[in-house]
Structure 1
């Protein structure tokens, strides 16, 4: 791959880091896996392309010998508001040409300026090294107080009150990050004792108390639901969703959001609709490495949808896994997460996960012996290993990119006994 192409990709990545992670960019720190996963979500929303985690890591480590696929480059450019990669390169070429013409007219001045800047940079480096060597590591007490309490027992919106005590800790800045998302990191006053945030979606999270860039304490946030709770939105990254009338979700043995509900809201079911059904609670006796989940789903209307997508998410005490289905011609768009591993449809054969979503589809997941087996209509579509102890199942989410319906949901232990059963009767 030519040097100029590699330089363009590196420049694009630097601009992305500067916009979304200014603290890491200014300090020269590398992005973490959860930061890359956040960028993946943004790219999927903006470009309708999801890049695998392995591809993201290769890009950020500069470990690619061939020019990445154009769809990958377009997705990167979308993060800094370009329509496509070609538009980004054209803009960079203009800057380069302008810099060349200007340098020809002011070559003498530029040489003097360059000498001055180089001298200043050297002085700055010396000062930085001196100051860095004088930095002292954080002294963190063993018994830091950090806890959280909800203002509502179940459902959302739900204000969570964080209580903390930072007495005796010396740092430049303090933060609370209420989920894995780095954009959810908010500065806090170390002289105070409380900070609150509203959770608009049910879920399970580990909130982090941070001093500078160091996590010094974690606490659990379990925003539970009272049974099934539906949300709807027109944009994947919407902070505040629309809450359908929960009392009308179930009728005739089916869970769905009715058409008249959309008519009463600002959500247009024909424009980027995303409907999610949450059941967030601790499913006692069901560790995430020993369960059977079965559900039956379909789309009520797919005529206006390009590549409709349905996803099952299983939340455990560590993170979440998600597994989806789509139209047969759209399986390249699929992304599967099992444990900490993300599998991209652009790099895997997901033919078995393509189906007719206007018909009822039976999904069955079997987690046993550190392997997750994924069956679609009784046919094994995926058999993927995972590692580590992930704790109990803390919730389920069924998501549709359109108007979706659910016939039943069963959770069983490996002996076949039902731990949770919902037929929507």
Structure 2
């Protein structure tokens, strides 16, 4: 009989196979940070690092995972929800015994199992010895002394090269890495005896750069990659396409058009690209836990893959982010909201007020006071709820579009600050 633990184990195995990051027993905190970001990118729901560690048994936790957590994990591996995932057979490795001979049938003299068995034993012995050797090598304690780590951007705008200064010579580490952010794919091996490394950042944001010795993060610091005014991008895994402020400023709005994209070789019939509009600049001591924000936004493309016209608004904070999402009315079941680790899914919450008609500008207003968030869409209360974690200070703003979109106004404010971005 299949138990819930069997289903959860099967889901973990599918996730490990999908990400291909090696043995999960060796995963470090940065791996769970990367997994959290990847799950959010694909499902729109952000599971916290602590939640993922509980799922993988890294942190003791006696309660069962929530329905939201299970549904999100199932969606990440290709199922609609946890209920659909549970319908699939759980593949449990079992030893298969040789079948009995049919009555009166001749019994062959050749016995492959008897011949293979010594080889199987030998392979396991060798693997065991190799495993012991590898464990002993890995288990060498890491000793560090006066280790230093700092950085500075060399330019204004994007892309931007950052010069890292480091000193890891006062350690017994076998390997030294510099990691740009949460993403372990952006980890680069450096010379242990060296002191400088240059790394290029292609997107703006507020990052947490890391110095990694062997597989341990020993130093971290904040790194702020700012935009020069507004910046448009065609988002790609490789180098993005950039559109500077003066190119996308039209008739009092910030806008990416179909002409902008087709001139860059985009063929919408093949694939509708994801695009963004960024404004990443200091906004004073504006708290991400108590602030006001209002904007006018519009999706301007609704063909091919973009029929739902998803629009995302991300408020970047020094300790996290808030995320709002809009779409056409018929697609609200696919929407998600997030307030610094508190996640709301359109599959389990009525987000119908976030379904809009993009033939005109859509007004969005977000009021947050002492971690209580209220969101108004076209002056109608669309959501109200609390979040728990401090978001730090607000450091920027980012819009996501399917194809093309525009922003007519954007403003942050509190009792003392009125930051008009557009």
Shift of 1:340: 2.2
Q: Where does structure 2 lack aligned partners over 5 or more consecutive residues?
A: 59-63, 80-84, 100-109
Matches of 1:99 and 1:51 in 2, distance apart?
A: 44
Q: Are 1:140 and 2:144 an aligned pair?
A: yes
Query: Compared with structure 1, are the counterparts of its residues 296 and 110 closer, same or farther at alpha carbon in structure 2 (3 Å cutoff)?
Result: same
When the two chains are superposed, the root-mean-square deviation of aligned CA atoms in Å is 3.8
Equivalent residues of 1:275, 1:399 under 8 A apart: yes
**Corresponding residue for residue 81 of structure 1:** none
Gap change, CA 1:74 and 1:106, over 3 Å in 2:
farther
CA distance in structure 2 between the aligned counterparts of 1:318 and 1:410, rounded to whole angstroms = 21
- 2:31 and 2:184 in contact (8 A); partners too: no
Partner secondary structure for residue 199 of structure 2: strand
Equivalent position SS for 2:209: strand
Structure 1 residues 132 and 215, CA gap change in structure 2 (3 angstroms): closer
Q: Secondary structure at the match of 2:330?
A: helix
- Report the equivalent of 1:371: 372
State whether structure 2 residue 202 is matched by structure 1 residue 200: yes
Q: Which residue pairs with 2:319 in the alignment?
A: 318
Secondary structure class of the residue paired with 1:314: strand
Give the whole-Å Cα distance in 1 for the aligned partners of 2:71 and 2:417.
47
| TM-score, normalisation: structure 1 | 0.79
Deviation at 1:9, TM superposition (A): 3.6
Aligned to 1:239: 238
Q: Which residue of 2 aligns with 1:293?
A: 293
Match of 2:274 in 1: 274
| 1:109 and 2:111 correspond | no
Q: Secondary structure at the match of 1:15?
A: helix
Q: Tell me, in whole angstroms, the C-alpha distance in 2 between the residues paired with 1:198 and 1:129.
A: 35
Q: Is the 8 A contact 1:52 1:335 kept in 2?
A: no
- Could you list the runs of 5+ residues in structure 1 that have no partner in the other structure? 79-84
Aligned to 1:244, what secondary structure does the other structure show?
A: strand
Which has a greater percent of helix?
1
Q: Specify the structure having the higher radius of gyration (Cα).
A: 2
**Normalized against structure 2, the TM-score is what?**
0.80
Contact 1:157 1:198 in 2 (8 A): yes
Give the aligned partner of residue 357 of structure 2: 356
Change (3 A) 1:303 1:120: closer
SS at match of 2:243: coil
- Determine helix, strand or coil for the equivalent of 2:35: helix
Shift of 1:56: 6.3
SS of 1:35's equivalent in the other structure is helix
SS at structure 2 position matched to 1:286: coil
Cα deviation digits, residues 315-339 of structure 1 (max 9, x gap): 1111222111112222222222211
Question: Does structure 1 conserve the Cα–Cα contact (< 8 Å) formed by 2:45 and 2:338?
Answer: no
SS in 1 for 2:166: strand
Kindly state the Cα deviation for residue 109 of structure 1 after the two structures are TM-superposed: 2.5
Q: 1:253: Cα distance to partner? A: 1.9
Deviations for 1:345-374, whole angstroms, at most 9, x for unmatched residues? 333332222222333211111121122222
- Paired with 1:354 and 1:192, the residues of 2 have a C-alpha distance of 54
Alignment partner of 2:155 out of 148, 152, 158: 152
Q: CA deviation at 1:242?
A: 1.1
Match of 2:102 in 1: none
2:174 to 172, 175, 181: 172
Q: What CA deviation, in whole Å up to 9, does each residue of 1:169-219 have, x standing for no partner?
A: 111211111011121111111111111111111111110111122111112
- How many residue pairs are counted as aligned between the two chains? 395
